[in-house]
Amino acid sequence: MKSIVILISGRGSNMEAIVHACQQESWPARIAAVISNKADASGLRFAASHGIATAVVDHKAFTSREAFDAELAKVIDGFSPDVVVLAGFMRILTEGFVRHYDGRLLNIHPSLLPAFPGLHTHQRAIEAGCKLAGATVHFVTPELDHGPIVMQAAVPVLAGDTADTLSSRVLAQEHHIYPQSVRWLVEGRLSLSEGVVQQLEGLPQVRWGG
Ligand code: NHR
Ligand code: GAR
């Protein structure tokens, strides 16, 4: 049985999708803990109500990113995870932290990387006149939103879209591709070898949400 720790900062709908898929599809894994950098993250209530351990490591209580990351890693490692999942986690992580979880740390980013790394992706995609938007699951590397890509989902950008309408279309796809990717990682069907994604043949790597 593998252990998964999920990091959130807010609503945690991707975390919920992973918790449900893990239970309903009987993954060889359990969600050992949900950890937030914000005490008021609403996702913590969902986790607690599902009997999952929760913890808060408030970044504002630390004077440096290194000190925050060191405490965060200590709390995470208390759950001995095989896999660590960033699900709407909003703090940039230091190189030391990322290297400690090499090959075990996944993120979902709400754009078709390498387009639009960083924040405000939906507004930027609309302003750029993109006809396609989407989400990307990737292994986390020190360079923000530049890690090896595992899976992408694409959706159309429709006339009249706002950042809100586009983000909810993308989010619905995130809830498919993120649990799928985490499942492959805990099942050993997906791994990272010297910075390159190794994936068993036949696993879909793209999804269309049009
Ligand atoms: N850390 C590393 N080293 N590499 C990545 O690829 C990371 C990462 C940490 C988080 C998620 C990412 C996203 O999917 C992620 C990927 C936060 C920011 C950010 O600017 C940017 C990208 C992501 C997460 N955070 C501000 C900061 O100063 C705070 C913003 C806020 O609190 O609202 O850390 O988009
Ligand atoms: C998701 O769209 C996720 O891709 C994005 O924030 C949302 C979190 O929703 N992540 C980032 O922007 C990371 N910087 P959720 O809390 O409901 O999963």
The CB of 99 under 6 Å from ligand 1? The reply is no
Per-residue confidence band for 202, with pLDDT thresholds at 50, 70 and 90 = confident
The predicted-structure confidence for 137-194, as pLDDT tens digits, reads as follows 999 999 999 999 999 999 999 999 999 999 999 999 999 999 999 999 999 999 999 9
Q: Which residues constitute the domain of residue 194?
A: 108-210
Active-site residue flag, 109 = yes
pLDDT of residue 199: 86
The predicted-structure confidence for 127-146, as pLDDT tens digits, reads as follows 999 999 999 999 999 999 99
Indicate whether 90 and 172 sit together in one domain.
Answer: no
Residue of 102, 82, 86 whose CA lies nearest to 2: 82
Helix, strand, coil distribution of the chain in percent, nearest 5: 35, 25, 40
pLDDT of residue 210: 82
Mean pLDDT for the chain overall: 97
Indicate whether 113 and 204 sit together in one domain.
Answer: yes
Indicate whether 5 and 45 sit together in one domain.
Answer: yes
Task: Give me the catalytic one of 50, 59, 100, 109.
Answer: 109
CA distance 88 to 117: 14
The CB of 180 under 6 Å from ligand 2? The reply is no
The predicted-structure confidence for 85-118, as pLDDT tens digits, reads as follows 999 999 999 999 999 999 999 999 999 999 999 9
Indicate whether 42 and 91 sit together in one domain.
Answer: yes
